[in-house]
Amino acid sequence: MSQTVETAPPPPAADEPVERKSLLTILIHRPEVGALVAALAIFVFFFAVAEPFRSVAAFSTVLYDSSTIGIMAVGVALLMIGGEFDLSAGVAVITAALTAAMFSYELSLNLWVGTIVALVLALMIGYWNGWLTMRTGIPSFLITLSTFFMLQGLNLGVTKLLTGTVATTNISNMDGFGALEWIFASSFTIGDLTVRITVVWWLLFTAIATWLLLRTRVGNWIFAVGGNAASARAVGVPLNRVKIGLFMGVGFLAWFYGMHRLYAFSTVQSGEGVGNEFLFIIAAVVGGCLLTGGYGSPIGAAIGAFIFGMTRQGIVYAGWDANWYRFFLGAMLLLAVLVNLWVRNYAMSRRS
């Protein structure tokens, strides 16, 4: 390493920029700032209008609901930063869950076997999406849209074929259920607060993704392939490997969330999952990811998921018609896109 030993100023203790910038300036340049402000506002709002929202139990429910969106939003956010979409993410969750349940049940195997098979399949779906996108140059929006419909058809068709119904058989008596339930669907209490294990996984995945993105070479490459694929390739970034890897990351998380659903409810409805892909994308966008790629943050996506958790539950706690949640979804997305546009233009125009 050619570390210069000149009169360079001593490196700062932390990784914070050396320049004397105000906290506000640093904050405004973070992708997740808009979402953070919105999250605080929404929290205060429901805290004020909905009395049941103030209880610890309600907070526990909000956290759990957030985590179910948040786990997937991590992978979707990374993929979006890498400049691609995955519309098949919602149904891929169900595909993974159905595979694990039916493979083990129909062949009378330990649930671990089905769970591993489901993992391999989920990674293969990710690989398929990524490989086809890179190989053909067709936008991932279209590639994954086709995957979405194919998986939806397979979910319904194969389930009907094997079980004769629209749902898998209850698997809670099968071998391996206990340990798998502990990993994917258990809960514990801290004081009065009941914490579902998915909340822990959600925070852990968010932390890992953040570290990966900001502190590793792969993270550098993810920003680069999303920001300017041609330039990235020109300086030697393995474009295909990075993008396919990101699709497989979404596949992995789809498997993980699918396993949660399976071991939490012991059975899976084959028609579920449709529409969830948009929730993941919206959480990522609300959290500051640009639709054009190259910009965003997993922490922002986590905050985006939390906003949804709060609102979905908050509307119920406030005693309103739950259908209003859909309206909110759309309004929030529009607002987020506008805020992101403004923030980005502000960040790019400022010359220091």
Binding residues for another protein, rule: CB under 8 A, are 1-4, 6, 8, 11, 15, 17, 19, 21, 211, 215-217, 219-220, 223-224, 227-228, 230-232, 234-237, 294-295, 344, 347-352
- Choice between 315 and 343, CB closer to another protein: 343
Contact between 289 and 296 (Cβ < 8 Å): yes
| H-helix segments, 12-107 | 23-28, 33-49, 56-81, 89-106
| Shortest distance (Å) from residue 301 CB to another protein | 17
Report the residue number, 237 or 281, with the smaller CB distance to another protein.
Answer: 237
**Which CA distances in Å does 140 have to 79, 127, 192?**
11, 12, 45
Min dist. Cβ of residue 2 to another protein (A): 5
Closest distance between another protein and the C-beta of residue 41, in Å?
27
Which strand (E) or helix (H) includes residue 82? none
Question: What is the total residue count of the chain?
Answer: 352
Cβ distance to another protein smaller for residue 322 or 347: 347
**Nearer to another protein by C-beta: 142 or 233?**
233
User: CB of residue 240 vs another protein: minimum separation in angstroms?
Assistant: 15
Give the containing element (helix H, strand E) for 188: strand 187-190
Query: What sign has the CA pseudo-torsion 273, 274, 277, 278?
Result: negative
Cβ at position 184, least distance to another protein in Å:
26
Closer residue to another protein, CB minimum distance, 24 or 161 = 24
Q: How far is the CB of 284 from another protein (least distance, A)?
A: 16
Q: Specify the pairing of strand 193-196 against strand 187-190.
A: antiparallel
For residue 297, with 0-12 CB atoms within 10 Å meaning exposed, 13-18 middle and 19 or more buried, which class applies?
A: buried
Query: In this complex, which beta carbon is closest to another protein, that of residue 213 or of residue 259?
Result: 213
Instruction: Compute the distance between CA of residue 288 and CA of residue 300 in angstroms, rounded to an integer.
Output: 6
The answer to whether the beta carbons of residues 129 and 247 sit under 8 Å apart is yes
CB of 251 to another protein, least distance (A): 23
Residue closer to another protein (CB basis): 130 or 226: 226
Number of Cβ within 10 Å of residue 328's Cβ equals 16
